[in-house]
């Protein structure tokens, strides 16, 4: 396995003048999530400023210059990349558990939409975005890919919280919080992108069209064009429910995926959220266009939307990340339970215990998740030069013993509360399971 480990010469240079200020994470089982998924038994990572400076085996032995106060002892836990949540609406933690176990139309029309109309404003969006950031950081998530209205407020709150995010300004053909005149949605999204770029290196702007049934053909095309002009991710809810197809004008017998493809909306900077009701021909289109998919199994289950054919997407080579969706339909931001449920749901729906194995699943919340949202050059694995988004998972708990395979343990046994340390951009955000 060690052949796969990136180990550069400069990391051993004792004349390295910055060494004293480096941070060392050591004494853990290191899963870098690099190609080949190496497992490094007694692993260590060196962080310089915001980035990973090196990683490998027993590096601590050669890093005597590092200050004691800069050494983080993983205590035999698992050192791994921070988790990537590919689909959130973070202000919606305000609506966590507001109205559960109801028919979809009652839930939306009688509870969620009225609550949004009366309670969503810049202050509440900031407050509950910060709240969600705390929840995510505590549970090992270092990046989320969000989409909502008033997203500039979301972005500001997430930037302050220290989490990394792709922030998608919502576009919809109805009056919405922040953009009462839908004719101005595209212009508002363009302004958002321009402004957010200045906010923080951790926040990447995006444009998020709500869906093909709430956005006209013209809106979809203009929004994607704006995203392409800016070279950023375009997100859209698609094929979430079986009857969505009846709500879209102009399909002319085509599938939703074929319709979006004909509008030239699909490429590697397009994130198709949900993608539950897609068939083999749709999967072939998605593959051909290199579009990305965000799979949100808990939301799809709780709302009884359906089961996405994720194993088929993976078999076709499509990049799939995992998302929790908003807290109104999950009801949390916990990627550990999402992994467990994703794997088990796919196994039972395929009637194949080999479907969605633990390695695949862990990749979907790390390197594949990063790839799905266009951040795989920056994050998603522990490799020299990437941003230092790293977590430690405590394994000294009865439910984590014995540990025959760390991937299995993380997917099928670990809980988000086992996360003891969280670092984003080299900055400690959680220590001993508590927010700093």
Q: How far is the CB of 435 from its own copies (least distance, A)?
A: 9
DSSP code at position 197: T
Which of the residues 44 through 83 are near its own copies (CB under 8 A)? Answer: none
Residue 413 contacts its own copies per CB under 8 A? yes
Q: How far is the CB of 143 from its own copies (least distance, A)?
A: 17
> For its own copies, which is the closer residue by CB, 62 or 124?
124
Nearby residues of 180 by Cβ (< 8 Å), 6 or more positions away: none
Tell me which of 153, 244, 334, 368 binds its own copies, using CB under 8 A: 334
Burial of 344 from C-beta contacts in 10 A (0-12 / 13-18 / 19+): middle
> For its own copies, which is the closer residue by CB, 132 or 169?
132
- H-only helix segments in 216-296: 217-230, 256-262, 280-289
235: which strand partners? Answer: 208, 271
Q: How far is the CB of 301 from its own copies (least distance, A)?
A: 4
Which of the residues 301 through 320 are near its own copies (CB under 8 A)? Answer: 301-307
Residue 343 contacts its own copies per CB under 8 A? yes
Query: How far is the C-alpha of 218 from the C-alpha of 108, rounded, in Å?
Result: 26
Residue 116 contacts its own copies per CB under 8 A? no
Residue 431 contacts its own copies per CB under 8 A? no
Question: Can you tell me whether residue 168 is helix, strand or coil?
Answer: strand
Binding span for its own copies by CB under 8 A among 7-15, 52-60, 342-350, 422-430: 342-350
Burial of 174 from C-beta contacts in 10 A (0-12 / 13-18 / 19+): exposed
Binding span for its own copies by CB under 8 A among 99-107, 265-273, 313-321, 423-431: 99-107
Binding span for its own copies by CB under 8 A among 37-45, 132-140, 154-162, 311-319: 132-140
Q: How far is the CB of 20 from its own copies (least distance, A)?
A: 36
Query: How far is the C-alpha of 246 from the C-alpha of 138, rounded, in Å?
Result: 41
DSSP code at position 433: T
C-alpha distance from residue 175 to each of 99, 133, 201, 220, 264 (Å): 24, 27, 31, 16, 26
Query: Which tokens go with 195?
Result: 């402004």
Residue 417 contacts its own copies per CB under 8 A? yes
Q: How far is the CB of 398 from its own copies (least distance, A)?
A: 4
Binding span for its own copies by CB under 8 A among 150-158, 174-182, 286-294, 412-420: 412-420
Q: Residue 118's CB: how many other CB atoms inside 10 A?
A: 9
Residue 432 contacts its own copies per CB under 8 A? no
Which of the residues 189 through 248 are near its own copies (CB under 8 A)? Answer: none
Residue 103 contacts its own copies per CB under 8 A? yes
CA-closest candidate to residue 112, choices 125, 97, 127, 124: 97
Query: How far is the C-alpha of 96 from the C-alpha of 110, rounded, in Å?
Result: 15
26: which strand partners? Answer: 44, 73
Query: Which tokens go with 132?
Result: 């969600």
Residue in the structure block whose two tokens are 């749709």: 282
Binding mask 354-393 for its own copies (x = CB under 8 A): xx-xx-----------------------------------
Binding site for its own copies (CB under 8 A): 93-94, 96-104, 107, 131-132, 134-135, 138-139, 298, 300-307, 330-334, 337, 340-341, 343-345, 347-348, 350-355, 357-358, 397-399, 401-405, 408-409, 412-413, 415-418
């Amino acid at each position: 396995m060690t052949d796969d480990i990136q180990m550069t010469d400069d990391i051993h240079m004792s004349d390295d003048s910055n060494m004293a200020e480096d941070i060392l994470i050591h004494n853990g089982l290191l899963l870098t999530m690099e190609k080949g998924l190496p497992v490094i038994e007694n692993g260590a990572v060196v962080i310089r400023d915001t980035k990973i400076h090196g990683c490998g085996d027993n590096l601590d032995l050669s890093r005597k210059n590092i200050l004691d106060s800069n050494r983080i002892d993983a205590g035999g836990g698992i050192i791994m990349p921070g988790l990537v949540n590919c689909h959130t609406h973070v202000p919606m933690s305000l609506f966590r558990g507001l109205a559960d176990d109801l028919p979809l139309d009652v839930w939306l029309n009688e509870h969620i939409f009225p609550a949004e109309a009366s309670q969503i404003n810049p202050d509440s969006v900031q407050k509950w975005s910060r709240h969600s950031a705390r929840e995510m950081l505590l549970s090992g998530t270092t990046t989320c890919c969000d989409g909502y209205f008033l997203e500039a407020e979301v972005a500001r709150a997430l930037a302050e919280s220290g989490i990394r995010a792709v922030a998608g300004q919502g576009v919809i053909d109805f009056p919405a919080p922040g953009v009462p005149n839908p004719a101005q949605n595209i212009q508002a999204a363009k302004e958002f992108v321009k402004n957010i770029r200045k906010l923080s290196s951790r926040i990447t702007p995006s444009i998020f069209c709500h869906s093909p049934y709430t956005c006209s053909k013209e809106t979809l095309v203009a929004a994607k064009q704006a995203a392409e002009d800016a070279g950023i991710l375009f997100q859209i809810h698609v094929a979430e429910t079986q009857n969505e197809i009846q709500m879209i004008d102009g399909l002319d017998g085509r599938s939703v995926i074929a319709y979006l493809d004909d509008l030239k909306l699909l490429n590697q900077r397009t994130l198709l959220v949900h993608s539950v009701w897609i068939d083999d021909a749709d999967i072939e289109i998605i593959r051909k266009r290199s579009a990305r998919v965000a799979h949100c199994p808990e939301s799809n289950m709780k709302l009884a939307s359906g089961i996405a054919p994720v194993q088929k997407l993976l078999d076709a080579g499509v990049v799939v990340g995992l998302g929790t969706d908003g807290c109104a339909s999950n009801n949390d931001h916990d990627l550990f339970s999402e992994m467990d449920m994703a794997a088990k749901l796919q196994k039972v729906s395929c009637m194949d215990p080999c479907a969605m194995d633990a390695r695949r699943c862990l990749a979907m919340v790390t390197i594949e998740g990063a790839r799905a949202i266009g951040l795989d050059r920056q994050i998603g694995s522990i490799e020299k030069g990437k941003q230092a988004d790293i977590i430690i998972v405590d394994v000294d708990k009865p439910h984590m013993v014995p540990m025959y395979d760390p991937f299995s343990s993380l997917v099928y046994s670990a809980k988000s509360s086992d996360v003891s340390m969280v670092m984003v951009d080299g900055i400690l955000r959680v220590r001993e399971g508590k927010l700093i």
